[in-house]
Amino acid sequence: MYVVVIRTAGNQRYIFASNKRQEIVGASELIVKVEGAWAKEALEETFGGETHRFERLVAGAGQIVLLVKEVADGRRMVTEVTRRALRYAPGLDVCGIVVRYDEGGLAEAVQEAQSRLASVREARPGPQARFLRLPIVEDCASTGLPAAEIRREGGPPPKGKPEERPQPRSAVSLAKLAAHEDALLRMGDLAGKEREEMRRTVQWLGFEAGWVAVVHADGNGIGAIFTGLREWARGRDDSAYAEALRDVSAGLNECAQRAFRKANDSNARILPLVVGGDDLTVVCEAEAALPFTRRYLEAFEEETAQDERITAYVPGGIGAAAGVAIVKRNYPFHFAYDLAEELIEQEAKQVKGWASALAFAVLHESAAPDLKRIRGAVPIVEDLSGSASPYIVGRGAADPRAEHRRWSDLERRVNALTRDEPGTGGPLIPRGAAHDLREGVCLGEKVVASRVTALRHRFEGDQARTQALAELTEDDGGLVWAEDGTKVTGLLDAMAALPFLAGEGAAR
């Protein structure tokens, strides 16, 4: 028997190679086609209707894993899928491998195939080698690759906007644009919206939004889970491992989709670019990003804890980590995605898997993002962390280790800053007072403590203002607190999130 593994690589780089929203949407569709329509066509080409000649184990997140009886069938599957990718998705990196195994060795063969696939991919020329610069040709307006045609992006412009002039387009750009309509249908089905509504979302995010967000989420400990499956399979026959691998993979894929549907606000402008496996990547309006991400993490926990295909091997379900990069509309999306990924790896994943966590950053600059520089952008005179990120959501919020870092803590601080005074409509904590506290944090713990005391005296006798200040400071414990020998503040996060989270906690 033979294991066939076909997988895409560099998915996020491929999706965000351009800042054109239509191309981003189309690129996500082409990745889905690898394990979807193109795999189905390749199976028909290779096996006809003889389903007994193959067994499909995994199909999702740009990956296909099959078992076949003949090595020639495995090689033909790789040929058929990669040929379609070359033709319909130039620039997409798709590679496959066929590995032989004997009875009882399936788990090891799958691991070997995954490992050898990376070596095979590195040994052959990458997608960039397909786009030669000689003879000299004009650059594509959106990707910088050699242009193949001169044409408009396509579709009517938003009301009041001029029609885009024809521009040079590369084969990569044209392929993504061609997939745009199919992508709108798929995303509409997932989001429960009509295609025209998804089209308006693409246009609004591309032409009208002030701030947008890139949200990326990743399951916790997924690699260890699949390693555990191999250990579990020792002493069992291959069919048991095949069933476990198929169940967990399909379960993760469906849980991610159900979690997205639960988290998605029908009124929000959200583009689900990648929703499958343990991965989520969306582009959305900034005001929807933080509430959506919190709901998604909680829903993913719930879904994986209830799916019997997962709980049979991972009791209690699976948590996830998310990074949210909030940027200006025209900021390069590949930088925004890199920042979201950095937020996951350097902050959200640092809770060591005991809880789902969310980290976010609001980028006001136009330079390439560097999380360390962003977190250190506010000068603080003491050894004090200017961010309490990451924030814990879901079941982990009940853990004592999450004190001060619960998502509800951030919401409480934001609500305290935004609550209006009855009658006048002005904030209970004046903006000037909030900025004085922010300045006090930068000057040191003693300075901010004295300013909190001064505000308490100023608000004495005003129950509403006193209550708002108590919620902001958590009775002197919430602005600055000690944690593992360092001092941490949550005020700067609350002020950064204020324009994008105001009212979310109060509305629930």
**What is the CATH number assigned to the segment(s) 2-130?**
3.30.70.1230
Do residues 501 and 395 lie in contact, with contact meaning Cβ atoms separated by under 8 Å?
A: no
Locate the domains of the chain by residue range. Answer: 2-130, 209-377, 407-507
Q: Do domains 2-130 and 209-377 have the same CATH topology?
A: yes
Is the pLDDT score of 442 beyond 90? no
DSSP letter string, 99-163: EE--TT-HHHHHHHHHHHHHHHHHHS--GGGGS---S--PBPTTT-SBEEEEE---SPPPTTSPP
Overall residue count recorded for the chain in this entry: 508
**How far is Cα 466 from Cα 345, in angstroms, rounded to an integer?**
39
- Tens of pLDDT along 7-31? 999 999 999 999 999 999 999 999 9
**How far is Cα 221 from Cα 278, in angstroms, rounded to an integer?**
10
The pLDDT assigned to 508 comes to 31
- Tens of pLDDT along 51-61? 999 999 999 98
Taking CA atoms, 483 is separated from 384, 398, 470, 486, in Å, by 10, 18, 21, 5
Instruction: Average the pLDDT over 283-305 and give the result.
Output: 97
- Tens of pLDDT along 208-220? 999 999 999 999 9
Tokens of 14: 């491929």
- Tens of pLDDT along 327-381? 999 999 999 999 999 999 999 999 877 799 999 999 988 888 889 888 887 777 7
Average pLDDT of the chain to the nearest whole number: 91
Is the pLDDT score of 159 beyond 80? no
Is the pLDDT score of 505 beyond 50? no
* Positive or negative torsion for Cα 313, 316, 321, 322: positive
CATH superfamily of 209-377: Reverse transcriptase/Diguanylate cyclase domain (3.30.70.270)
